[in-house]
């Protein structure tokens, strides 16, 4: 096939995928509230975030910073309005933050972006009713890997004057935590020598905040064993970890629960319970019991 034709076909596929993706997010966001504010958290890199807060005035509310998935190559905060909106409806101050994706940036730069978004949130959340001591990070797929690295590899938060235990907890939805880097991912993660640094599992050493891990056992994008292994490692080091397995659920099911809770009815209650029951950052929380929770079937 001539190279010009290959280029045209690739462009057409990309256009079709973009159109399908735009239509999908238009549907899932059709009943979602707009953010209360949008703010620049990193002017040098042109990065912003959206903040959602409960309709009724709040003080001392828990705060969740959410990072979207997209194979570290795509995604935007506007597409995930349904996550921030749903959390705010349940009394949470929610942040959905953009971060640079490949090829604009590779690993570990996008994790550094996430760390700066967390620091902005800690510095500003009280003005919007949030409690900085009840600050959680969360993410789906690639975003879950980013959130988990913030909770396990102390270097990323140290760069912004924080530590993993400054987080009240980490919520990982269908995340890759100890994964193979193939030819497709190699450009994203750079030199082979730094690939081990992309694996949250490698950094579990007993200084982590509590974790909630949610994964479908029919996930063909990220194997459910990724969450099982991270859960086991956390518990071996005496850390609190809750593992929620969704029988028959695919890769997007944990995120789908935020625009249609009936799609995975155990997910949102598990997230809300985790956020409401987990202690404030910087306090002695203890390992607590491990719970492997069977979930309802999600399509």
- For the chain, what are the domain ranges? 1-30, 34-294
The average pLDDT across 128-152 equals: 97
Give the pLDDT mean for 135-155: 98
Name residue, tokens 């978004």: 117
Q: Peptide bond preceding 142: is omega within 30 degrees of 0, i.e. cis?
A: no
User: What kind and span of H or E run contains 267?
Assistant: helix 267-277
Q: State whether CATH 3.90.550.10 applies to domain 34-294.
A: no
Instruction: Express each pLDDT in 229-247 by its tens digit.
Output: 999 999 999 999 999 999 9
pLDDT at 155 over 60: yes
Identify whether the C-beta of residue 41 lies closer than 8 Å to the C-beta of residue 120.
yes
C-alpha distance across the termini of the chain, in Å: 39
Answer for the pair 146, 200: CB distance below 8 angstroms, yes or no.
no
137 Cβ contact list (under 8 Å, min separation 6): 64, 65, 66, 67, 114, 118, 147, 150, 151, 167, 169, 170, 171
pLDDT in tens, 166-220: 999 999 999 999 999 999 999 999 999 999 999 999 999 999 999 999 999 999 9
Give 3-state DSSP helix, strand, coil % of the chain, rounded to 5. Answer: 40, 20, 40
Give me the residues paired with residue 283 across strands.
none
Mean pLDDT of 113-119: 98
Predicted TM-score (pTM) of this structure: 0.87
> 282 pLDDT band (50/70/90 cuts)?
low
């Amino acid at each position: 096939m001539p190279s010009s034709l290959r280029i045209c076909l690739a462009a057409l596929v990309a256009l079709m995928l973009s159109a399908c993706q735009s239509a999908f997010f238009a549907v899932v966001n059709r009943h979602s509230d707009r953010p209360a504010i949008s703010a620049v958290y990193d002017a040098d890199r042109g990065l912003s975030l959206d903040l959602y807060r409960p309709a009724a005035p709040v003080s001392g509310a828990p705060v969740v910073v959410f990072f979207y998935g997209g194979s570290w190559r795509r995604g935007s905060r506007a597409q995930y309005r349904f996550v921030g909106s749903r959390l705010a409806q349940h009394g949470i101050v929610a942040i959905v933050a953009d971060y640079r994706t490949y090829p604009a940036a590779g690993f570990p730069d996008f994790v550094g972006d996430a760390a700066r978004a967390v620091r902005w949130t800690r510095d500003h959340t009280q003005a919007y009713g949030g409690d900085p001591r009840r600050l959680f990070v969360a993410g789906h797929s690639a975003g879950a890997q980013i959130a988990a690295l913030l909770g396990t590899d102390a270097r990323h938060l140290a760069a912004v004057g924080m530590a993993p235990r400054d987080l009240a907890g980490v919520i990982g939805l269908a995340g890759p935590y100890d994964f193979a880097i193939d030819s497709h991912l190699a450009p994203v993660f750079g030199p082979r020598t730094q690939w081990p640094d992309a694996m949250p599992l490698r950094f579990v050493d007993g200084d982590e905040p509590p974790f909630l891990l949610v994964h479908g056992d029919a996930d063909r994008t990220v194997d459910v064993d990724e969450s099982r292994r991270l859960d086991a490692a956390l518990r071996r080091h005496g850390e609190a970890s809750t593992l929620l397995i969704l029988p028959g659920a695919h890769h997007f099911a944990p995120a789908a629960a935020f625009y249609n809770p009936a799609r995975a009815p155990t997910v949102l209650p598990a997230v809300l319970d985790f956020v409401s029951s987990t202690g404030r950052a910087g306090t002695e929380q203890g390992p607590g019991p491990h719970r492997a929770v069977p979930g309802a079937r999600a399509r």
